[in-house]
């Protein structure tokens, strides 16, 4: 049994041992994708997300499923379930690519390919794929049905955002600190003015 097989097997068994709130972008329709002709269900697993001293909690976090929004860079394991039974007789090619943006299906949008599998028939309807994301950004999982695509719908594109929320955290933190500083400065100013006004009123009465 390969390392990837162990990851996916444990990921399937883990929900039976406990329940946790699903992270954003996991579960439901967000994990379904279609090209028009074909439909798949997929999940991504990222070991080491949100390190926890409790090994039990960490194990659950390691096998929490994600979909289109991945919280961190690094080693990521995909499990793809082909819903259409006819697909199980077709050769399939999978690629994970980096893109300039994530809002269109333009092949010219691709900047590099991280991993590409040879054409293979998945007779059991389940495919596995491992990729190492080396930096935050916009990526896509491309699933090609057939050795050579005959139509545009023969390629199913799943956009992925990797660690983009993490990139925004420093900016948000600075903004929050700045807003807090302005708030306390204004509070101090009004308190000081109120104190001076009260002091002047007492001096007048004296």
User: 182-191 pLDDT, tens per residue?
Assistant: 665 666 556 6
Co-location of 139 and 43 in the same domain: yes
Co-location of 177 and 125 in the same domain: no
Domain, as residue range, for 136: 3-162
- Residue 109's pLDDT band, with cuts at 50, 70 and 90, is confident
Co-location of 197 and 155 in the same domain: no
Co-location of 154 and 187 in the same domain: no
Co-location of 108 and 198 in the same domain: no
- Residue 82's pLDDT band, with cuts at 50, 70 and 90, is very high
For residue 99, the surrounding DSSP H or E stretch is: strand 91-99
User: 15-50 pLDDT, tens per residue?
Assistant: 433 333 344 445 556 799 998 889 999 999 998 776
Taking 70 as the threshold, does the pLDDT of residue 2 lie above it?
Answer: no
Co-location of 102 and 135 in the same domain: yes
Sign of the four-CA dihedral 63, 78, 165, 48: positive
Co-location of 122 and 186 in the same domain: no
In the chain, pLDDT over 70 holds for what percent of residues?
56
- Predicted pLDDT at 189: 57
Co-location of 175 and 151 in the same domain: no
Q: Region 136-159: what's the mean pLDDT?
A: 90
Q: 93: domain CATH number?
A: 2.60.40.1930
Q: Token match 């700045």: residue? A: 178
152-180 b/e with 16+ CB inside 10 Å = b?
eebbbbbbbbbbebeeeeeeeeeeeeeee
Taking 90 as the threshold, does the pLDDT of residue 133 lie above it?
Answer: yes
- Pick from 143, 162, 181: which residue ends a domain? 162
Task: Give the up-direction half-sphere exposure of residue 122: CA atoms within 13 A in the CB hemisphere.
Answer: 24
Taking 50 as the threshold, does the pLDDT of residue 77 lie above it?
Answer: yes
Co-location of 154 and 180 in the same domain: no
First to last CA, the chain: 91
**Beta-bridge partners for 44:** 66, 78
User: 149-184 pLDDT, tens per residue?
Assistant: 777 789 999 999 999 974 444 444 444 545 565 665
Domain count, the chain: 2
Co-location of 66 and 100 in the same domain: yes
Q: In this structure, what token pair is assigned to residue 202?
A: 């007492």
- DSSP 8-state symbol, 60: H
Task: Report how far residue 119's alpha carbon sits from residue 103's, in angstroms, rounded to the nearest whole number.
Answer: 27
**Beta-bridge partners for 142:** 95, 157
Region of residue 137 (left: phi > 0; alpha: psi -120 to 50; beta: else): left
Task: Report how far residue 78's alpha carbon sits from residue 7's, in angstroms, rounded to the nearest whole number.
Answer: 10
Task: Decide: pTM greater than 0.85.
Answer: no
Co-location of 131 and 178 in the same domain: no
Range picked from 5-9, 43-47, 57-61, 101-105 for highest mean pLDDT: 43-47
Co-location of 127 and 187 in the same domain: no
- Predicted pLDDT at 58: 55
Query: By the 8 A CB rule, do 128 and 94 touch?
Result: no
């Amino acid at each position: 049994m390969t390392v990837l097989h162990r990851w996916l097997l444990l990921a399937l068994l883990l929900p039976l041992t406990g329940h946790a709130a699903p992270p954003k972008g996991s579960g439901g329709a967000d994990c379904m994708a279609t090209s028009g002709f074909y439909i798949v269900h997929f999940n991504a697993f990222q070991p080491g997300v949100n390190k926890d001293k409790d090994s039990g909690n960490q194990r659950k976090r390691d096998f929490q499923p994600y979909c289109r929004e991945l919280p961190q860079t690094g080693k990521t394991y995909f499990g793809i379930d082909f819903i259409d039974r006819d697909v199980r007789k077709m050769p399939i090619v999978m690629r994970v690519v980096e893109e300039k943006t994530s809002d269109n299906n333009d092949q010219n949008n691709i900047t590099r390919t991280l991993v590409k599998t040879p054409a293979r028939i998945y007779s059991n309807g389940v495919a596995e794929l491992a990729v190492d994301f080396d930096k935050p950004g916009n990526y896509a999982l491309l699933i090609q049905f057939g050795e050579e695509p005959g139509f545009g719908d023969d390629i199913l594109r799943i956009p992925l955002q990797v660690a983009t929320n993490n990139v925004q955290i420093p900016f948000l933190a600075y903004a929050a600190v700045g807003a807090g500083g302005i708030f306390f400065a204004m509070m101090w100013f009004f308190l000081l003015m109120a104190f001076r006004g009260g002091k002047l009123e007492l001096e007048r009465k004296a």
